[in-house]
Chain A
Amino acid sequence: MADSDDHEGQVPAWCPGCGNFGILRAFKRAVVELGLEPNRFTVVSGIGQSGKFPHYTRCNTFNGLHGRTLPVATGIKLVNHPMPVIAVAGDGDCYGEGGNHLIHAIRRNIDVSVFVHDNQVYGLTKGQASPTSMEGMKTKVQPYGVLAEPLSPLAMAVALDCSFVARGYAGDAEHLAGLMKESISHKGFALLDILQPCVTFNGLNTYTWFKERVYHLGPSYDPTDRVAAFTKALEFGPRIPLGVIYRNERPSFGDRFPAVHGAAIVDLSFDPSSLGDITKEFY
């Protein structure tokens, strides 16, 4: 059984106090508790401070392009369906550059979890607005403040009938680790939006700001009620709910894809002569 030392990676190059540290701590805890050996699962990341994430733990890693985590994860999952595949992206990565892929990953219900490091700002490019930046937030590129409405990723996901929608908080690693475990164990697409203070570029959504607002959804909340979930997903003001917002158990993409049934495709042996007379249909 792997312990947290087995998941030790490179030394993080994040700013001191970055919310990413809490997410990393929660992640290591989640994979250890799930008994996932580093070589038995794959993390796909994109570009941004979140893109470096898999290097700071130890696991099979595909650190690809900005916005493209979900297509890569989809390709991996379909040819090796028993292997857990986790995508790690930022808010610019998953909700901006890769927004189209998110919509279609939800539609497919591919059995992949995506952990979105949502700090409501662009860190790597030094402080521009992101799709989730709050209206009015001023930056060097948005001198009049952000003019567009912030995206509500959770409401969008519920509207698309995403099979698992949750929100965690980097400042509450223990609770976050539980949500990560639930996401990975969920059979189908899981969107876990993780609120994450950016101590360098986001002076608005700070640890203090979040501390005053976040609360845990209690046992009385029913995440299978889609209409209630939509209302809950829109709650982002004086109070911000954390937990599983919506859950809709339905067959995953692989479950419905005949070619994927049976042994993982990557394990199939191949010999061209075994195909028989495949030119027959052309006579």
Chain B
Amino acid sequence: MDYTIKIGGEAGQGIQTIGDSLAKVFARSGYHVFVHQDYESRIRGGHNFYQIRVSDRPVYSSRERLDIVVALDRPTIANNRNRLGDGGIIVYDSTILKERHDETHFLDVPFVDLATKDGGSRIMANTVATGTVLGMLGLDLGMLLPVLSDLLEKKGSETIEENQRAAERGRDFAVANCRECSFMVPASGPPKMLIDGNSAIGLGALLSGCKFYAAYPMTPSTGVLTFMAAKSEMYRIVVEQAEDEIAAINMAIGASFAGVRSMTGTAGGGFALMVEGVSLAAMTETPVVILVGQRPAPATGLPTRTEQGDLLFVLHAGHGEFPRLLFAPGSPEQALHLTNKAFDLAYKYQIPAFILTDQYLADTQRTYDGFDLSRIVYKDYRVRDPESQAGKEYKRYAFADSGISPFAVPGRSQGVIVADSDEHDEDGHLTEGAEIRNRMVEKRLFCKLPLLKAEMAPPLLHGNQEAETVVVGWGSTYGVLREAVDCLSEKKIALLHFSEVYPFPATDSFDYVDVLRRAKRTICVENNATSQFARLVRTETGHVFTSTVNRYDGRPWLLETLMGELDGRLG
């Protein structure tokens, strides 16, 4: 079983409600689910969709082929009628769309009529649609009812019961009228968790002891701000909507200087404003974690869509020369653990650490049996004993072989803590001395760099170990690349996926450069126009890819399209 359900309509019509309910029902029923959303930058109208893939085997991406299309507007039919698989059905309400389709693969369901029966209201048409889809799949409503209860908790038990009856009417209609429905859904297992990239980053921050999150709302990073705000009181985390991104990063740096773990998040455009702050964090050796959710640019670009176009920008952002860490998770699970690693290393080495995602990862949801939270690392790197290193003679920038000076907390130390954005001496006071300048550059940069490089995990190799073709990707494309490589497994193909991007990982534990060197063909796949990662690989390793695959229309790769692109390059 591997079905894709697509719900399309205008913003404000409730496609998200239908989609969320269905995805949750499937996950709670123990199926594997992958969800991706496509929306326009508007509050009402336009054309948006919500796509759910449900399977009894693990799924890592969205497909082109559709099995059930729920059309709440006409474009949903026009855009998708040619993408239906065998046995696929388009469900619609001819009274909403004001058009009729008599072909056998159309099912006209009177969503509004069924919603308003028994004193129900028009708004429940969405619940009718949800019931209809479950009926078409032959699933019972046992799992939907608790989902409706959660969703409508604030509206009271009467509304929940009315929605329950509306769902039943939708289900009954489908069972009675969908003569073409031939969906086979096998029995399922224990409930799975369903989580999106942004929530996973939020969880990672909570588990890393993040106590301060400041941001200015900007798609696609706003979800993390919302997640953190909801946890603020319970976990005592200061979450503040700053007046601009410059304030956001400076607030985060202030909180970190004051001794707590702190983070900020934005998209490429907001990050452009933060750049001076990155340099400030570096010079003052104040750790900070920065989330950059990429979206197509330049400038405002395609605000609600996806791209991997800011890799080299983020890698080079900030005036001056200083070390940084950059992680690009490929799934919600990686997002959680790499957020944790970003915090751990930022605070261990007192440097800025980046989590680079994009709209695709931020908004896609995937199922898991659960997360292994025993892998979470937390170590307090602060000097907490005022009698020892933070005594009266404390020096914020004391020289050490590692380049890492003891990090004391202002107001919690016998000495004073002096941090300076000017070049400074060990005490933190500004200096213009040439010799001390050299020593400070060496401390900040050359001492820490080799240590940082050793912390980075090598890329993941998936597929044929003696591959003739090695496909390389980074960040959010992990899932779709993995499935594409699996589907093309007869062709001696493997995936090399990077989620720990900078400093570029060493080859001691796994000589991935050799894997590239030995392959007949190496293909770098990126959601950008200029193959930024391929350029980075060439800079760091000298390897030049045989070919590149680029997509820059603001849309994510779907499985079949990517397979076609790869297949075309295999010869």
Are the C-beta atoms of B214 and A75 separated by less than 8 Å? yes
CB proximity of B70 to chain A, nearest CB, Å: 24
Which B residues touch A79, using CB under 8 A? 211-212, 238, 255, 258-260, 262
CB proximity of B224 to chain A, nearest CB, Å: 15
Are the C-beta atoms of B255 and A75 separated by less than 8 Å? yes
Cβ proximity bits B241-268 to A, threshold 8 Å, 1 near / 0 not: 0111011101111111111101000000
Is A258 part of the binding interface, using a Cβ–Cβ cutoff of 8 Å?
A: yes
Is A206 part of the binding interface, using a Cβ–Cβ cutoff of 8 Å?
A: no
Which B residues touch A72, using CB under 8 A? 250-251, 253-254, 257
How long is the Cα–Cα vector from A245 to B39 in the complex, in angstroms?
52
Are the C-beta atoms of B262 and A75 separated by less than 8 Å? yes
Is A143 part of the binding interface, using a Cβ–Cβ cutoff of 8 Å?
A: no
Which A residues touch B422, using CB under 8 A? 63
Are the C-beta atoms of A61 and B418 separated by less than 8 Å? yes
Are the C-beta atoms of A61 and B206 separated by less than 8 Å? no
Are the C-beta atoms of B209 and A270 separated by less than 8 Å? yes
Are the C-beta atoms of A42 and B411 separated by less than 8 Å? yes
How long is the Cα–Cα vector from A55 to B431 in the complex, in angstroms?
11
Which B residues touch A68, using CB under 8 A? 246-247, 250, 277, 280
5 extra A-B contacts, CB within 8 A, seeds A39-B411, A40-B411: A39-B414, A61-B418, A74-B247, A78-B212, A272-B208
Are the C-beta atoms of A60 and B260 separated by less than 8 Å? no
Which B residues touch A74, using CB under 8 A? 240, 247, 251, 254
CB proximity of A93 to chain B, nearest CB, Å: 13
Which A residues touch B415, using CB under 8 A? 39
Closest partner residue, chain A, to B260 (CB atom):
A79
Are the C-beta atoms of B253 and A75 separated by less than 8 Å? yes
Which residues of A in the span 234-280 have a Cβ within 8 Å of any Cβ on B?
257-260, 262, 265-268, 270-273, 275, 278-279
Is A117 part of the binding interface, using a Cβ–Cβ cutoff of 8 Å?
A: no
Which A residues touch B27, using CB under 8 A? 283
Is B470 part of the binding interface, using a Cβ–Cβ cutoff of 8 Å?
A: no
Contacts A61-B418, A80-B258, A272-B207 given; indicate if A259 touches B428 (C-beta within 8 A).
no
How long is the Cα–Cα vector from A103 to B243 in the complex, in angstroms?
9
Is B449 part of the binding interface, using a Cβ–Cβ cutoff of 8 Å?
A: no
How long is the Cα–Cα vector from A39 to B411 in the complex, in angstroms?
6
Cβ-neighbour of B411 out of A10, A70, A80 (below 8 A): A80
Looking at chain B's contact residues, is the secondary structure mostly helix, strand, loop, or mixed? mixed
Is A144 part of the binding interface, using a Cβ–Cβ cutoff of 8 Å?
A: no
Are the C-beta atoms of A64 and B208 separated by less than 8 Å? no
Total A residues in contact with B, Cβ cutoff 8 Å = 53
Cβ-neighbour of B276 out of A65, A80, A83, A270 (below 8 A): A65
Are the C-beta atoms of A42 and B410 separated by less than 8 Å? yes
Are the C-beta atoms of B238 and A38 separated by less than 8 Å? no
Contacts A41-B411, A266-B260 given; indicate if A62 touches B252 (C-beta within 8 A).
no
Are the C-beta atoms of A76 and B373 separated by less than 8 Å? no
Q: Which of B211, B373, B411 has the most CB of A within 10 A?
A: B411
How long is the Cα–Cα vector from A71 to B430 in the complex, in angstroms?
22
CB proximity of B171 to chain A, nearest CB, Å: 23
CB proximity of B212 to chain A, nearest CB, Å: 6
How long is the Cα–Cα vector from A182 to B361 in the complex, in angstroms?
51
How long is the Cα–Cα vector from A60 to B209 in the complex, in angstroms?
24
How long is the Cα–Cα vector from A218 to B282 in the complex, in angstroms?
49
Are the C-beta atoms of A61 and B243 separated by less than 8 Å? no
Which B residues touch A100, using CB under 8 A? 243-244, 247
Which B residues touch A273, using CB under 8 A? 373
Which A residues touch B4, using CB under 8 A? none
How long is the Cα–Cα vector from A102 to B184 in the complex, in angstroms?
63
Which A residues touch B237, using CB under 8 A? 259
Which B residues touch A192, using CB under 8 A? none
Cβ-neighbour of A62 out of B194, B239, B254 (below 8 A): B254
Are the C-beta atoms of A59 and B416 separated by less than 8 Å? yes
CB proximity of B408 to chain A, nearest CB, Å: 10
Cβ-neighbour of B284 out of A64, A265, A275 (below 8 A): A64
Which residues of A in the span 21-69 have a Cβ within 8 Å of any Cβ on B?
38-42, 44, 47, 52, 54-55, 58-65, 68
Chain A contacts to B: CB under 8 angstroms: 10, 38-42, 44, 47, 52, 54-55, 58-65, 68, 70-76, 78-80, 83, 100-101, 103-104, 257-260, 262, 265-268, 270-273, 275, 278-279, 282-283
Q: Can you list 21 A-B pairs with a CB-CB distance of less than 8 A?
A: A10-B429, A39-B414, A40-B411, A63-B418, A63-B430, A64-B250, A65-B276, A68-B247, A68-B277, A71-B254, A72-B257, A75-B252, A79-B260, A79-B262, A257-B238, A259-B237, A266-B211, A275-B206, A275-B207, A282-B195, A283-B192
Contacts A60-B417, A64-B253, A79-B211 given; indicate if A268 touches B236 (C-beta within 8 A).
yes
Are the C-beta atoms of A265 and B253 separated by less than 8 Å? no
Which A residues touch B192, using CB under 8 A? 283
Are the C-beta atoms of A39 and B251 separated by less than 8 Å? no
Closest partner residue, chain A, to B209 (CB atom):
A270
Is B235 part of the binding interface, using a Cβ–Cβ cutoff of 8 Å?
A: yes
How long is the Cα–Cα vector from A104 to B235 in the complex, in angstroms?
26
Are the C-beta atoms of A71 and B420 separated by less than 8 Å? no
Contacts A75-B251, A258-B233, A279-B193 given; indicate if A64 touches B421 (C-beta within 8 A).
yes
Are the C-beta atoms of B421 and A55 separated by less than 8 Å? no
How long is the Cα–Cα vector from A44 to B280 in the complex, in angstroms?
13
How long is the Cα–Cα vector from A267 to B242 in the complex, in angstroms?
24
CB proximity of A109 to chain B, nearest CB, Å: 13
Q: Which of A60, A73, A100 has the most CB of B within 10 A?
A: A60
Which 10 A-B pairs have CB atoms at the shortest separation, nearest pair first?
A75-B254, A71-B250, A72-B254, A75-B255, A60-B410, A75-B251, A104-B243, A270-B209, A71-B247, A76-B258
Which B residues touch A61, using CB under 8 A? 416-420, 428
Closest partner residue, chain B, to A104 (CB atom):
B243
Contacts A40-B411, A55-B429, A64-B280 given; indicate if A75 touches B258 (C-beta within 8 A).
yes
Which B residues touch A41, using CB under 8 A? 411
Closest partner residue, chain B, to A41 (CB atom):
B411
Cβ-neighbour of B238 out of A64, A260, A267, A283 (below 8 A): A260
Contacts A259-B239, A265-B238 given; indicate if A83 touches B410 (C-beta within 8 A).
yes
Which B residues touch A272, using CB under 8 A? 207-209, 373, 376, 378
Cβ-neighbour of A76 out of B243, B410, B430 (below 8 A): B410
Which A residues touch B255, using CB under 8 A? 75-76, 78-79
Which A residues touch B120, using CB under 8 A? none
Q: Which of B246, B373, B418, B430 has the most CB of A within 10 A?
A: B418
How long is the Cα–Cα vector from A42 to B419 in the complex, in angstroms?
11
Contacts A75-B252, A259-B233 given; indicate if A279 touches B371 (C-beta within 8 A).
yes
Are the C-beta atoms of B378 and A270 separated by less than 8 Å? yes
Cβ proximity bits B507-530 to A, threshold 8 Å, 1 near / 0 not: 000000000000000000000000
CB proximity of A114 to chain B, nearest CB, Å: 14
Which A residues touch B416, using CB under 8 A? 38-39, 58-61
CB proximity of A77 to chain B, nearest CB, Å: 8
Is B440 part of the binding interface, using a Cβ–Cβ cutoff of 8 Å?
A: no
Is B311 part of the binding interface, using a Cβ–Cβ cutoff of 8 Å?
A: no
Are the C-beta atoms of B411 and A71 separated by less than 8 Å? no
CB proximity of B386 to chain A, nearest CB, Å: 9
Are the C-beta atoms of A279 and B258 separated by less than 8 Å? no
How long is the Cα–Cα vector from A10 to B420 in the complex, in angstroms?
14
